[in-house]
Chains A and B, each alone.
Chain A
Amino acid sequence: MLSPGQGKEEKQLRLHGSGETMHTVAADLYLPRQARIDGIVRENSQIKTFVLSFVDEEFNSAFRYQCGQFLMVSVPHCGEAPISFSSSPTRPGSIELSVRRAGRLTSALHEMQVGDRLGLRGPYGRPFPLAGLVGRDLLFVAGGIGLAPLRSVVNACLDAREHYGGITVLYGSRAPSDIAFAADLADWAKSPRFACRLSVDSAAPGWRGAVGPVTGLLTETGVDPEKSVALVCGPPLMIRAVLGMLSEKGLPDDRILTTMERQMKCGVGLCRHCHMEGKLVCVDGPVFSLAELKRLRPMELAG
C-alpha cells in the first residue's frame, strides 16, 4: 500500500540518477521538500545564484544529481518552475541554482533573502552523458543564462581535470555589465589547458573583448572534429546558429549536445506541457544531441 507523505515510503526515494532515463519512484510524486537559502550571489542585474540546502540534513547529505538535470522549484504562492542545477554534482552538500528574472515566480525568487525557504523536488531529466566526454576536447558555447547548466559541467570536468582534453568556453552576453558568473570565469582562466573567450552584443568603454554574437567567437575557434564534443546552451536563435556552425566545422551530430526548453508543470512525464515532436522534454530531455534533434525536427531547428 502506498500512502502519500509517509516517512517510510519516502525512504524509497531514488536519490541517484542512473543511466539514460531517470524516473523518480517517490511515493508522493509532486511533493516538494523544504530547502533553505544559504547564500545569494548576484551575477548581474537579471541573474542571481541561490545556494541551497535541504532542511532535512540526512536527506541533504544523501542527495545526488547529475549535470544537465533540473529541479522543480516552489516559491510561496507562485507555483513551480523548472531550474537547472548550476552547481557541480562533484561537490555535494549544497545545491546552486542560477535564476534569471523572467516572470512571476522568478521575480518573487529574486526578492527572497538568505534564510528564506523554498520547495524543491527532483532531480529530473536526462543528464549530459558525462562518460561520453572523457578523453575529449570540450567546447562549451553559451549565451546569457545558458551558462548556468554548462557551469555545472565545466566545474564537474575541472574536478576531474585529468579525464578531459582541452576545454574551451565561449560565452556571449548583452553588455560587459551583463557578464554573469564572473567569479567562475576568473577561476576557470587559471586552469590548465583552458581557454575562455567572451563576447558582448554592445561594447562599453574599456571593453577589450570581442563584440557581436557568440557565433563570431566560434568562427575564430579551431575545432578538432575527431576529438571534440560541443555543449551548447542559450536562447533558441543562438542554439540554432551555433549548431549549424558546429556541423559545418565537421563535428558529428552525436557529439553536439544541447538543451531544449519547454513549459513544464509536472517534470515527470505526465502533464505533457513539455511535448516536443513526440518526446517529452522533462523525461526524454532536456539534453539532446543534434543527431536526435535532426530526427525530431523541433521548431527551434525548423525553417
Chain B
Amino acid sequence: MHDRYLLQKDHLKSLLRKLMKEYRLVAPARNRHGDVLFVVLEDLDAAELDLAAQPQNSLKEFFFPQREALYAYEISDEGYRFRPLAPECPPTIYFGVHPCDLSAILYMDVVFSQGGRDNFYLRRRRESVLIGVNCGAPPSDKCFCNATGHGPFLDFGADLMLTDLGGRFFVEADRAQGQALVRSWRQFFEAAGEEDRNARYQSFLEARGSFQRQVHVEQAIRQLADGAVAEEVWAALSLRCHDCGGCAYLCPTCTCFTITDQQTSAQGGVRLRSWDACTFAGFTRMAGGHNPVAQRTGALRQRFLHKLRDDVARYGRPGCVGCGRCVGSCFGGADIVRFVEKAYEGGC
C-alpha cells in the first residue's frame, strides 16, 4: 500500500489544464441539453464536468470506432494492393471513468490481444492514460456492477484512481504511468494519511450498501453453465427483440464487428470495419440463405450466452460489466437484467 495521494478539488481544473497541454482530454461533460457524454474537451472553462452521472456513451467508440477504414485498396498495373491506414491516436487522457467502463476497457484489452493482435485497437490503447473515479453511490438505479463483480470500486486497471472524499480526491497510483504523472505534477498532490485511507474505505462501504436492486447474475451464470435455462425464456425474450441492435451499440463490451469494402472509384476503395450485433439476422446467415441461428427463438440467445456463459468460460469473468446502459433503453424490455430475472424465476 503505497503511492496514495490527495488532490484538492480546487486544484483539479488547474491540473487538467496542465495535462491538456500534452494530451487530448476525454471526460464526461454535461451538454446544454443536460446529457452527460464522454467528449473530447477543447475548452475546460466552458465545460461542465460531471463525475457522478453515468455518461450515455461508453469509451468503446474512442478505442474501437463505430466505423473505421482499415485499409485503402487500389487496383492498378501494379496489381491489387492494400495500404494500411494508421489509426488516429493522439496521446489521450480519459478522465473520470467509472469502474464499469474501466472494466470494459480491460475486457477489450483481452479480446483484442488474444490470438490475433488487433493493432487498430491496441495502438489507440497504448496512447491512452486512464484516470478513473470510484462510484460513491450507483449513478443510476439501473446499475448492477456490484452483481457482476466490476464495481462500485475498482482496485486495478486505471493509471490513477480517484475516490471523492468531499472537498478532495483520494488518489491511488498503482501503475507506472500513473506514478509518472504524479511525479511530473507533484505540486498538485499531497501525501495521503491513515485518516484518508479510512475515509476511502468508509466511502466504499457506503457505496456497496447503496445498490437498490438485487440482480442475480451469479445464479444466471450457474444456470447457463448447467444448461438449465428453459427454452421458453429464450423464446419469450427473442419475441420482444426488435432486432434494432441498440443494446450492442450502447454496450461497452459488445465488440462484434463486420468488415466490408466500400468502392470509392473505379480503381479503388476502402476496407471498413464497423460495429455489428449478434442479434441481427444477417450476422450468421450464409450464402443460399442457410442460417445456423434460429432467428425467432434464438436471436437474443447468443447475446446473453456470450456475455454470461462463453466469456466466463474463456476469461473467468462475465462480459457484462453491469453498467446498466442497455437496461431501460431496450424498446422491447429484453435487456440483460430482464434475462437474468427471467432465468432466476425460471419462467416468463
Contacts and interface: CB of A to CB of B under 8 A. Distances in A.
Given A2-B122, A29-B117, A269-B115, A117 B79 contact: yes
A273 B283 contact: yes
A276 B283 CA distance: 12
B208 to A, nearest CB: 32
Contacts of B46: none
B111 A270 contact: yes
A112 to B, nearest CB: 11
Contacts of B86: 3-4
Given A270-B255, A271-B257, A272-B255, 15 more contacts: A2-B122, A3-B86, A74-B73, A119-B73, A265-B259, A266-B116, A270-B257, A272-B306, A273-B258, A273-B276, A275-B284, A275-B302, A298-B292, A299-B293, A300-B292
A79 interface: yes
Interface in A1-43: 2-5, 21, 23-32, 34, 36
Given A31-B84, A275-B278, A263 B283 contact: yes
Contacts of B260: 79
B189 to A, nearest CB: 30
A283 interface: yes
B90 to A, nearest CB: 16
Interface string A243-281: 000000000000000000111011011111101101000
A181 B122 CA distance: 44
B227 to A, nearest CB: 9
Nearest to B121: A270
A36 B254 CA distance: 37
Sorting the interface of chain B by its residue count into under 10, 10 to 19, 20 to 34 or 35 or more gives 35 or more
B110 to A, nearest CB: 11
Nearest to A2: B119
A271 B309 contact: no
Given A34-B80, A265-B258, A275-B302, A299 B294 contact: yes
B118 interface: yes
A272 B292 contact: no
A102 interface: yes
Contacts of B230: none
A91 B81 CA distance: 27
A159 to B, nearest CB: 30
A261 B276 CA distance: 20
Nearest to A21: B115
Contacts of B17: none
Contact of A27 (B112, B119, B263, B305): B119
Interface in A167-209: none
26 contacts: A2-B119, A4-B86, A25-B117, A26-B116, A28-B119, A30-B71, A30-B273, A34-B79, A34-B80, A36-B79, A55-B79, A74-B80, A76-B75, A76-B80, A106-B287, A117-B80, A265-B258, A266-B257, A268-B115, A269-B116, A270-B257, A272-B255, A273-B276, A275-B278, A278-B309, A299-B294
A28 B84 contact: yes
Contacts of A275: 278, 284, 302, 306, 310
Given A28-B119, A300-B292, A266 B278 contact: no
Nearest to B86: A4
Contact of B259 (A80, A106, A269): A80
A5 B84 contact: yes
Nearest to B292: A299
Contacts of B269: 77
Interface in A65-104: 74, 76-80, 102-103
B268 to A, nearest CB: 9
A272 B83 CA distance: 25
Contacts of B287: 102-103, 106
Given A29-B118, A29-B119, A77-B269, A273 B256 contact: yes
A30 B115 contact: no
Contacts of B276: 265, 271, 273
A236 interface: yes
Given A4-B84, A34-B80, A299-B292, A271 B259 contact: yes
A116 B122 CA distance: 34
B284 A273 contact: yes
A299 to B, nearest CB: 5
Nearest to A275: B302
Contact of B116 (A3, A29, A76, A278): A29
Interface string A111-143: 000000111000000000000000000000000
B235 to A, nearest CB: 15
Nearest to A121: B82
B313 interface: yes
A92 B123 CA distance: 35
Interface string A38-76: 000000000000000001000000000000000000101
The 3 lowest CB-CB distance pairs between A and B, nearest first, are A268-B116, A102-B287, A4-B84
B286 interface: yes
A171 to B, nearest CB: 20
A116 B285 CA distance: 29
